[in-house]
Amino acid sequence: MYYPKQLPYLLDQEFKKNIEYREYKSEKLSDYIMCIWSMKSKKISKKTIYNYILPDACIDIVIDLTNKTIQFAGFSNETIPFVLENKIEYLGVRLKPGSFYFLFNIESNKIMDHPLDILRIEKETDLKKIFQTKERKQQIKAIERYILTKIKKDKDKKYIQMIDELYKNPNKQTVEELAKKLGYDKRHMFRIFKKQYGFSPKVLLNIIRLHLCLTLLLEEKKSIQEIMHRCDFYDQSHFIKEIKKYTGYSPLELIERNW
């Protein structure tokens, strides 16, 4: 199953020293979300902490419990440094790729790199009740209730489910093969992917391959040669360059930090 990796809470010692990050599963929403997450300061730090967010094709609902704002946010094909200063407390929902359009009927490419205040779309929402309690369980229940109201039972989930299929063998997928499988011409498929995921088919496949590489490297502890073969990198320099472009580290540096 596609489950993208975000590196700071895994590898960055400064981040781990200053920020508490947790992920919560939701059985009720497992078809639509990766997780519900929380991030808060352990102390007021004089240092600026960076949360480097890798592109993952996910759009998040980001709830700033300190400043009482709620936004949709997603980042496109570059790694974005998100600044964490002073005292912070966030609660969020990482939607699966394809879920944002499914739930909210807003084209995903309109959100990528352009955070949108939820209250601009929905003047009245139960999600605002989150600000009335400090209990995490109650906050999570409020999130679950809100998303459950958005689920349309008769709507086709194929674009959400497709990501898991692509993740199994991203190296064996091409834009041409995807178009043929879906029964679209390439131009129409481009429009569909932009709407559903916020990316072109080629960029989406690259992002999925990146996260498969990170999973194989950091969790399954596969060798670089195994990962290159599985993810269809024939040139080691290209593999190293691709990983470093997004993470800031070479594969060997990631291994040293993780192992």
pLDDT confidence bin for 81, thresholds 50/70/90: confident
Averaged over 87-100, what is the pLDDT?
Answer: 96
* Cα gap 147→132, rounded to integer Å: 18
Can you list the pairs that 66-73 forms with residues at least 24 positions away whose Cβ atoms lie under 8 Å? 68/131, 69/117, 70/117, 70/118, 70/119, 70/127, 70/128, 71/115, 71/116, 71/117, 71/118, 72/100, 72/104, 72/106, 72/111, 72/115, 72/116, 72/118, 73/111, 73/115, 73/116
Alpha helix ranges (H) inside 169-200: 175-182, 186-197
pLDDT higher than threshold 70 for residue 23: yes
pLDDT confidence bin for 26, thresholds 50/70/90: very high
CA 81, distance to chain mean position in Å, is 14
Q: What pLDDT score was predicted for residue 259? A: 61
Averaged over 231-253, what is the pLDDT?
Answer: 90
Averaged over 38-42, what is the pLDDT?
Answer: 94
DSSP state of 22: E
76 vs 89, residue with greater confidence: 89
Cβ contacts of 201 within 8 Å, gap of 6 or more: 175, 178, 179, 189, 190, 193
pTM (2 d.p.): 0.93
pLDDT digits (tens, 9 = 90+) for 164-191: 989 987 777 778 888 888 888 888 999 9
